[in-house]
């Protein structure tokens, strides 16, 4: 069923879309559009191919199209930045598959890792990624200075990345 | 100074309103040269003063440049933070792009960083959850494709998942011994909702506007409702003005003026008065009884008010807010801009956070299904039962195979004359057969529900019976299951939605002799065991006492 494909690939696809410089506010919109295009073109899908890679190809084309829109309707942060980021997605294909591949497994591992975060780290993470506060706002909330917040968030990300990789390796083993 | 000549040309062009050329180069040069930065700042400030003296708009590019000159990030980490942080300008991003052009080996790192940022959002934010994403996609599919296979896919999947839940957790009424529990599936609402004491409401005296006065009482709550620890519920059921956080489940509040609000968690809402509330996040449905005041729901970006019927607001996304009208008309306003317009029954609008427009979107109330079941007063269902949302057309010739669909036909109405209903003995599982009927005297308020089984598919293919049980939040005062009485009561208690094709159905009631019906002794639960023949539509009209 198509919904199974959505469940399997949405996390990876959304991450891939974001990595092309799409505005975080529009990431889901672009990813959904990619799914709708895929749905409408299912008959064209070569079942020998990886569905996730096919989706990412569709999303990549959607992002390329964003550059042609007028500024008010663009869903990307910057033409220049997206141009540079897109340049890495055309070759090699292996790299493209890697960025967004196994999205569901990675997301599940990440969620588990977040559960183990200390309270303050979790608070900062939620302030940044759930409430969308800037480092400046978080600094005020936690009575820290902005560089310290950025540093702390970087440490949290690094520890989560390590934890996620370890969990994936374990599950793979 | 010669080295700055091209830069000064750019600055001169900028100040003169000519095509300035490479602003990035000017900004980069100014960030490296404090004297040039000071000069740029002074010139732009003076230029701005001159401009304001004769004009009102602000030159965005100049201000942007001015703000950034002299404080541009220098390290890679700062640049990457800029690309991921929400607080950046086009100049910032151009600096990032230039850095990456110069350092292509760092591109992959930034992409991974951005992707991880997105994943972290998905992991910690409810509005970015898988469920929210699929639901939003479902709505777009529904609106943008001519086919709806995906929607059906999704529904089937949802029901399968819910059916997999442990039925012991639901606390639902036991069936008579003949019923096979293994054959029953749990619906979404049944899994979540149980009725608490209903309408036993004692309101505090004094004005509702007074600080500390009780504004509303909890009238219904689902069994999985969980409040955050700091929600100011004093005795567990009284609501005063303030902010409440419902972590899970559903709750209905009833105000002394008759207004009702149902909230579906996770939600944060703020009660302002007996006719207004702010839904900071989550879903809410409001039904207004106070004709003079109506009810106003506000959320990020918009407010919706209505004079007398039912509205909903979906504030689960951090990106946008949707408002729907289930019944009646409503006024919708964008916050701040003062832009307002009317929307009508079965219409919806969306306000995007980064836009100053109200967008028409398809009316798709699926997200409100759980809340609607609580509002509709049909809960604790067993079997394949769906409570159809307002606006769903009753289609006797094209139903969902093997499922009992429940339509709320007409709410809180007073029949003008006595109604003829079918005879039914409480507490006995009996054949639904031709019977002399009985009169239901006019006078009391009723709500009418139409239960429908469309038998094509699994019932006729393999002869399976369809079993279902529905528990209402008020006593059942009459049941109509014979074809003639269904037809004769249509005008008085039937829905205003047309019964497309019903005239082509010969026997729409339980006339086959194979159908069984039971009304529980407390008159709250209707149990059905239906076995339709080919093209044998089964309909039952249930009349329930209304407040």
pLDDT for B42 equals: 58
Nearest by CB to B94, which of A15, A80, A161? A80
A124 and A48 within one domain = no
Are residues B287 and B241 part of one domain? yes
Percent of chain B with pLDDT over 90: 3
Domain of residue B39: give its range: 2-123
Choosing from A57, A76, A98, the residue where a domain stops is: A98
Q: For residue B299, is it within any domain?
A: yes
Residues 58-97 of A with CB under 8 A from B: 77-78, 80-81, 83-85, 87-88, 95
Is residue B289 domain-shared with residue B253, that is, in the same domain? yes
Confidence at residue B44, expressed as pLDDT on a 0 to 100 scale: 63
Q: How much is the pLDDT for B21?
A: 66
Here the ipTM equals 0.80
Note the pTM of the prediction, 2 decimals. Answer: 0.47
Rounded CA separation B356/B300 (Å) = 12
Query: A112 and A71 share a domain?
Result: no
Residue B32 or residue A23, greater confidence: A23
Nearest by Cα to A105 from A94, A96, A93, A113: A113
Same domain, A126 and A152: yes
Q: Does A32 touch chain B (CB under 8 A)?
A: yes
Stretches where chain B sits below pLDDT 70 are 1-5, 11-21, 23, 30-31, 34, 37-74, 86-88, 142-212, 231-236, 290-293, 307-308, 336-337, 354-355, 380, 395-401, 429-433, 455-464, 494-507, 512, 532-536, 547
Nearest CB to B145 within list A11, A28, A40: A40
Q: What is the CATH number of the domain that holds A167?
A: 1.10.10.10
Domain that holds residue A62: 2-98
Q: Are residues B145 and B249 in the same domain?
A: no
Q: Which residue of A has its CA nearest to B125?
A: A130
Q: Give how many domains chain A has, as a whole number.
A: 2
Residue B297 · residue B315 · CB < 8 Å: no
> Is residue A94 domain-shared with residue A28, that is, in the same domain?
yes
Q: Tell me, what's the pLDDT at B216?
A: 87
Residues B116 and B140 in one domain: no
Residues B160, B280, single domain; the answer is no
Q: Tell whether A114 lies on the interface with B, counting CB pairs under 8 A.
A: yes
Single out the residue in B123, B151, B180 at which a domain terminates.
B123
What's the confidence (pLDDT) of residue B263? 93
Q: φ and ψ at B296, to 5 degrees?
A: -120, 125
Instruction: Closest CB to A107: pick one of B93, B119, B149.
Output: B119
Residue B364 CA: distances (Å) to CA of B99, B140, B151, B325, B390: 46, 10, 11, 10, 10
Residues B272 and B219 in one domain: yes
Residue B87 and residue A134 in contact, taking contact as beta carbons nearer than 8 Å: yes
Chain A residues whose CB is inside 8 A of the B101 CB are 84
Using a CB-CB cut-off of 8 Å, the residues of chain B touching A39 are 141, 145, 150
Are both B213 and B351 inside the same structural domain?
Answer: yes
Grouping H, G, I as helix, E, B as strand and the rest as coil, residue B330 is strand
Residues A81 and A127 in one domain: no
Q: Do A129 and B112 touch (CB under 8 A)?
A: no
What CATH number does the domain containing A67 carry?
1.10.1740
Answer yes or no: do A122 and A144 share one domain: yes
- From A52, A75, A98, the end of a domain falls on A98
Q: State residue B427's pLDDT score.
A: 74
Average pLDDT score over residue span A125-138: 83
Instruction: Please give the residue of chain B at the shortest CA–CA distance from A95.
Output: B108
User: Which pLDDT score, from 0 to 100, does residue B449 have?
Assistant: 92
Instruction: Please give the mean pLDDT across all residues of chain B.
Output: 71
**Same domain as A50, residue A128:** no
Token reading at B467 = 């079993």
Q: Is residue B326 part of a domain?
A: yes
Residues B269 and B385 in one domain: no
Residues B210 and B349 in one domain: yes
Question: What is the predicted pLDDT for the residue at B19?
Answer: 59
């Amino acid at each position: 069923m198509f919904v199974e494909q959505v469940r399997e690939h949405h996390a990876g696809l959304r991450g891939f879309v974001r990595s092309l410089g799409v505005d975080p506010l529009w990431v889901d919109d672009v990813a959904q559009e990619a799914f709708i295009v895929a749905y409408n073109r299912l008959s064209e899908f070569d079942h020998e191919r990886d569905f996730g890679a096919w989706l990412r190809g569709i999303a990549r084309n959607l992002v390329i199209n964003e550059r042609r829109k007028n500024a008010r309707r663009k869903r990307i942060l910057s033409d220049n930045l997206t141009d540079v980021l897109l340049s890495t997605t055309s070759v090699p294909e292996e790299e493209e598959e890697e960025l967004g591949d196994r999205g569901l497994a990675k997301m599940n591992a990440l969620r588990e890792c977040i559960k183990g975060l200390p309270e303050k780290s979790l608070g900062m993470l939620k302030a940044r990624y759930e409430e969308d506060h800037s480092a400046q706002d978080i600094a005020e909330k936690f009575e820290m200075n902005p560089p310290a917040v950025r540093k702390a968030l970087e440490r949290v990300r690094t520890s989560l990345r390590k934890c996620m990789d370890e969990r994936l390796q374990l599950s793979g083993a | 100074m010669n080295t700055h000549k091209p830069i000064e040309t750019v600055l001169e062009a900028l100040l003169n309103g000519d095509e300035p050329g490479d602003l990035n180069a000017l900004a980069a040069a100014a960030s490296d040269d404090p004297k040039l930065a000071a000069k740029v700042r002074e010139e732009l400030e003076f230029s701005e003063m001159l401009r304001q003296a004769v004009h009102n708009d602000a030159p965005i590019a100049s201000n942007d440049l001015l703000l950034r000159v002299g404080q541009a990030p220098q390290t890679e980490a700062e640049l990457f933070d800029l690309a991921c942080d929400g607080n950046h300008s086009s100049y910032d991003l151009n600096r990032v792009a230039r850095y990456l052009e110069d350092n292509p080996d760092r591109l992959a790192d930034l992409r991974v960083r951005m992707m991880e940022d997105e994943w972290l959002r998905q992991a910690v934010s409810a509005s970015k959850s898988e469920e929210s994403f699929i639901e939003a996609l479902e709505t777009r599919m529904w609106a943008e494709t001519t086919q709806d296979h995906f929607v059906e896919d999704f529904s089937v999947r949802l029901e399968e998942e819910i059916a997999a839940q442990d039925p012991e957790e639901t606390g639902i009424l036991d069936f008579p011994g003949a019923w096979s529990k293994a054959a029953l599936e749990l619906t979404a609402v049944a899994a979540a909702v149980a009725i608490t004491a209903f309408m036993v409401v004692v309101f505090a005296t004094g004005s509702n506007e007074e600080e500390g006065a009780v504004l509303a009482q909890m009238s219904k709550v689902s069994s999985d409702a969980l409040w955050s620890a700091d929600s100011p519920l004093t005795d567990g059921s009284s609501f005063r003005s303030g902010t409440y956080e419902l972590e899970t489940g559903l709750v209905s509040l009833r105000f002394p003026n008759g207004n009702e609000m149902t909230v579906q968690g996770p939600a944060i809402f703020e009660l302002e008065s007996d006719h207004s509330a702010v839904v900071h996040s989550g879903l809410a449905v409001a039904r207004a009884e106070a004709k003079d005041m109506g009810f106003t729901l506000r959320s990020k970006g918009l407010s919706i008010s209505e004079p007398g019927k039912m509205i909903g607001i979906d504030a689960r996304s951090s990106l946008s807010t949707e408002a729907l009208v289930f019944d009646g008309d409503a006024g919708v306003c964008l916050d701040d801009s003062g832009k307002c317009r009317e929307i009508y029954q079965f219409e919806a609008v969306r306000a995007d956070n980064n836009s100053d427009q109200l967008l028409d979107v398809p009316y798709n109330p699926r997200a409100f299904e759980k809340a609607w079941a609580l509002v509709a007063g049909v809960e604790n269902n067993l079997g394949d039962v769906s409570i159809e949302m307002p606006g769903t057309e009753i289609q006797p010739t094209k139903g969902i195979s093997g499922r009992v669909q429940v339509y709320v036909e007409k709410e809180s109405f007073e029949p003008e004359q006595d109604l003829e209903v079918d005879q039914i003995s409480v507490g006995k599982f009996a054949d639904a057969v031709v019977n002399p009927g009985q009169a239901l005297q006019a006078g009391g308020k009723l709500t009418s529900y139409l239960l429908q089984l469309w038998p094509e598919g699994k019932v006729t293919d393999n002869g399976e019976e369809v079993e279902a049980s529905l528990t209402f939040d008020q006593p059942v005062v009459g049941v109509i299951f014979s074809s003639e009485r269904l037809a004769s009561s249509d005008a008085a208690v039937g829905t205003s939605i047309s019964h497309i094709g019903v005239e082509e159905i010969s026997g729409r009631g339980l006339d086959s002799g194979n159908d069984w019906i039971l009304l529980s002794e407390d008159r709250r639960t209707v149990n059905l065991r239906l076995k339709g023949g080919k093209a044998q539509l089964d309909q039952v009209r249930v009349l329930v006492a209304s407040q």
